[in-house]
Structure 1
Amino acid sequence: MDRTDPLEDVLALLDTRGHLSTSLVAGGAWALRFDPPVDVKFNAVRRGRCLLEVEGAGPPLALGTGDCFLLTRARPFVLRSAPEDASGDAPAAAPEPVAAGPVFAAAPDGVARVGDGDDVLLIGGRFSFGDRARALLLDALPPVIHVPAGTRHAETVGWALAEIGRELQHRPAASTLVAEHLAVVMLVHVLRLHLADGTNGAAGWLVGLADPVAAPALAALHGRPAHPWTVAELAAVSGVSRSTLAARFRRTVGQAPLDCLTRGRIELASRRLRQGSDTVAAVARAVGYGSESALSTAFKRVTGNSPRAHRDRRRT
């Protein structure tokens, strides 16, 4: 059987895309207030250091050269200068944050500037996902994921960020496309880092990938979504009893194995409805349902819409 990669599958199903935004150059004492991001926000410090303050996420986070972070919730945040100025001589007064929107809207040549000097450089952007990203991927993540320079996976993250910087600086042909694909590479490594470091008791599909019992069963579900899986078959794949598999799925994924199968099938059907021209009946057979009505019942239970309404809404 071909090896499957559930993380790759779900990132593809969710239409994961990277979008780059205006870079930020700052110096002296400065502070910018950002509205809650609509998508997953990322920033990387390419030069200097600063502080990140996210509403409801604990004390300020100190960021240095090579650090990056993801914001996975729609919460306002502030980026500000570190307590000392660029020379390190004396603490600088902490200014009141100004709205970031007008600063970035007025940025010439894709570079926003704030404060006095250029000792800090950040590049950033966002990741957009499909409709079901919150349930499948994002709910299992903390509000802030910090990747310090020098940690595991940080080397590849740093490479991707350096390449993004070169693409944006020199602007060769198709530079925006290349840079946005590199941003997705960065996202994958940040998620790998999060999986390797543990999940702090959260539950979700991503948490299941880090569990040695749930992960083989998840891979089987994503590898053969149309197969009429039973809990006994999935337990055999993971090498445990049915009761052990069911309990582990509840604790890590947050749902029963067959409920996970249903949601995976609905995500696959949703993508086919968005991107293809197959009939609803053909999509139903492709994802493991014996009839159009069976798919419609499951689809409406999970998404709140019928397959036809979903297709019509996306086309509109």
Structure 2
Amino acid sequence: MDPLEDVLTLLSPRSHLSARLAAGGTWALRFEPPEGVKFNAVRRGSCVLEVDGVEGVIELSQGDCYLLTRPAPFVLRSDPAAVPVDAGPVFARAEHGVARVGYGDGVLLVGGEFSFGARARELLIGRLPPVVHIPAGSRHAETVAWALSEIEDELTHRPMASSVVAEHLATVMLVHVLRLHIARDPRPASGWMAGLRDPVVAAALAQMHGDPAHPWTVAELAARASVSRSTLASRFKTLVGIGPLDYLTRWRIELAARQLHDGQMTVASVAHSVGYGTESALSVAFKRVLGMSPSVYRRRQGTT
């Protein structure tokens, strides 16, 4: 399994679509910090995005979309002269799934949020920039535009199971946004997503994700990536921020944590499934990564 698919499958991101926004004339809306990862896409017209803590403004045109990966307030506006009003009451007055501000509907946005757990934020979102802006025109942006068009159609015509279909399409959009970000960022921040851009590190990641229970060594991973042990260790540490075997430990603990949360396996069975020969070996690694034993973690997750 490739690492991006692996992480997304483990984290099971959920999308929550909000009312569409129709705007015209001079207008501006101030939004509270989102609880999840906020996304919006401009289906018609243009506007400006301003995010607290991010220098400058981002001009959005038809076909553009963006992700906000931090819980920061932000403003959408028609132009710099527009005075913002709170978005909450505007969306509370939405009718037929459309919130309206200003005069007319020359601008139309589709948006919502993706929700992740705290561990997911660290793995998937924590290394992304505060704003991921996807302008129209690229190959992945075209796929995003297709998904958004389908979402809009589902929300407009409301066929059977439209909400379920629209939310799955939003997840498709998220995957393509992440693909595009990985492909285009010339200097990605450290983290496993940065490693996906490097063929050597990506090869090692693919091996570990493909068989996390295998007793990998740096030498074996380097051989699979067709480089020396020192080359792999150096490139992996530089890009991902930790060594290959430290990464493997953390990934095994993520897998173990999901299985403990699900509550279907004994701790000993979980240990064997992720590459630890004994329950005590898993417990030592689990405490080192998450600061508690597997049994305590399971109790805190509300399972027995």
User: If the length of structure 1 is used for normalisation, what is the TM-score?
Assistant: 0.92
Q: CA deviation at 1:5?
A: 1.2
Taking a change above 3 Å as real, the CA distance of residues 23 and 305 of structure 1, as seen in their structure-2 partners, is farther
Is 1:279 the equivalent of 2:266? yes
Is 1:11 the equivalent of 2:8? yes
Q: How does 1:1-316 map to 2 (within 5 A)?
A: 4-82=1-79, 94-315=81-302
Cα-Cα RMSD: 1.4
More deviation, 103-112/157-166: 103-112
Q: Distance in 1 between the 2:16 and 2:112 partners? A: 5
Q: Distance in 2 between the 1:285 and 1:47 partners? A: 53
Q: Distance in 2 between the 1:253 and 1:151 partners? A: 27
Counterpart in the other structure of 1:86 = none
Q: CA deviation at 1:199?
A: 4.7
Q: CA deviation at 1:129?
A: 1.8
* Partner secondary structure for residue 96 of structure 2: helix
Point out 4+ residue stretches in structure 1 off by more than 3 angstroms. none
Q: CA deviation at 1:271?
A: 1.2
Q: Distance in 2 between the 1:196 and 1:219 partners? A: 17
Q: CA deviation at 1:198?
A: 2.2
Preserved CA contact (<8 Å) 1:164 1:179: yes
Q: CA deviation at 1:201?
A: 4.4
Q: Distance in 1 between the 2:299 and 2:24 partners? A: 50
Preserved CA contact (<8 Å) 2:42 2:107: yes
Q: Which runs of 5+ in 2 are unaligned?
A: none
Q: CA deviation at 1:310?
A: 2.1
Q: CA deviation at 1:50?
A: 0.4
Taking a change above 3 Å as real, the CA distance of residues 219 and 81 of structure 1, as seen in their structure-2 partners, is same
Q: Distance in 2 between the 1:152 and 1:59 partners? A: 27
What amino acid is aligned across from residue 139 of structure 1 in structure 2?
G
What amino acid is aligned across from residue 152 of structure 1 in structure 2?
R
What amino acid is aligned across from residue 261 of structure 1 in structure 2?
L
Taking a change above 3 Å as real, the CA distance of residues 175 and 183 of structure 1, as seen in their structure-2 partners, is same
Q: CA deviation at 1:164?
A: 0.4
* Partner secondary structure for residue 219 of structure 1: helix
Q: CA deviation at 1:82?
A: 3.7
Q: Distance in 2 between the 1:202 and 1:281 partners? A: 36
Q: Distance in 2 between the 1:270 and 1:194 partners? A: 28
More deviation, 16-25/303-312: 303-312
Preserved CA contact (<8 Å) 2:48 2:79: yes
Preserved CA contact (<8 Å) 2:200 2:225: yes
* Partner secondary structure for residue 118 of structure 2: coil
How many residues end up aligned between the 2 structures?
303
Q: Which runs of 5+ in 1 are unaligned?
A: 84-93
Preserved CA contact (<8 Å) 2:97 2:155: no
Q: CA deviation at 1:65?
A: 0.9
Q: Distance in 2 between the 1:179 and 1:302 partners? A: 36
Q: Distance in 1 between the 2:166 and 2:301 partners? A: 27
Preserved CA contact (<8 Å) 2:263 2:298: no
User: If the length of structure 2 is used for normalisation, what is the TM-score?
Assistant: 0.96
More deviation, 159-168/95-104: 95-104
Q: Distance in 2 between the 1:294 and 1:158 partners? A: 48
What amino acid is aligned across from residue 219 of structure 1 in structure 2?
A
Q: Distance in 1 between the 2:124 and 2:288 partners? A: 20
Can you list the C-alpha shifts for 1:226-251, whole angstroms capped at 9, x where unaligned? 00100001111111111111111111
Can you list the C-alpha shifts for 1:254-287, whole angstroms capped at 9, x where unaligned? 1100011011101111111122411111111101
